[in-house]
Amino acid sequence: MYKVFNNSQKIILANKDEFSSLNGKNFINISDFSKMHNIIDNQIFSNNKQEVILLSKDSNKLIDFFESEFNVRLAGGGWVFDKKSKLLMIKRNKIWDIPKGHLEKGETIEECSIREVEEETGIKNLKIESYLGISRHLFVEKDLWILKVCHWYKMISNFEGELVPQIKEGITKSRWIKGHKVENKLKKGWPSLFHFYEENILKNQINEF
């Protein structure tokens, strides 16, 4: 099931048969994909519902038309754990976050993920342990709507040196955070990231929190 966040609003794109019941849900049935632009403008962005579901008989085509309305940017990031199962987090523009960044020309998404985590935190000796999944969110940049698609990896490191936040990117803190504090910090941050944490980290017992 395809999910994307517009701030706290969750948008779901799916086949009709993925929902056994739609009672009480705010859904939009799409048969004419040429109307996607108007649907996004008038029924999603102008909708104050916390969840909107777009349904079609062809979910792949639905996703293609939806993504064509945005400037899609690929990114990669890492959920990095130390030997004590502490999670590496950053504070960017006063919001606690997980290190990540945009894909650069010529690199793989795995290379991007490791590079961005190293640059933003100062950590070294990173190793990818597993692929965790994708998060998506919308934002505006220079009057353009951007769809950011971030690939996430579980990473480990034996690094014991000093962490150095990437100040020029608005990062003021780079810290190892104990498990019981992680949820509280993420809950106060980006909804898409907190949702990913709940669905892909906690449920799958990626850590020992």
Domain ranges of the chain: 2-67, 75-202
Buried b or exposed e, range 172-193, using 16+ CB within 10 angstroms = eebbbbeeeebeebbeebbbbb
Q: Which CATH superfamily is domain 75-202 in?
A: Nucleoside Triphosphate Pyrophosphohydrolase (3.90.79.10)
Residue 8 has pLDDT above 70, yes or no: yes
Query: 186: helix, coil or strand?
Result: helix
pLDDT one-digit tens code per residue, 61-74: 999 999 999 999 99
Buried b or exposed e, range 112-151, using 16+ CB within 10 angstroms = bbbbbbbbbbbbeebeeeeebebbbbbeeeeeeeebbbbb
Residue 209 has pLDDT above 50, yes or no: no
Structure tokens at 82: 């130390």
pLDDT one-digit tens code per residue, 114-141: 999 999 999 999 999 999 999 999 999 9
E strands in 7-97 = 9-15, 27-29, 51-56, 71-81, 87-92, 95-97
Q: For residue 76, what are the β-bridge partners?
A: 101, 151
Query: 3: helix, coil or strand?
Result: strand
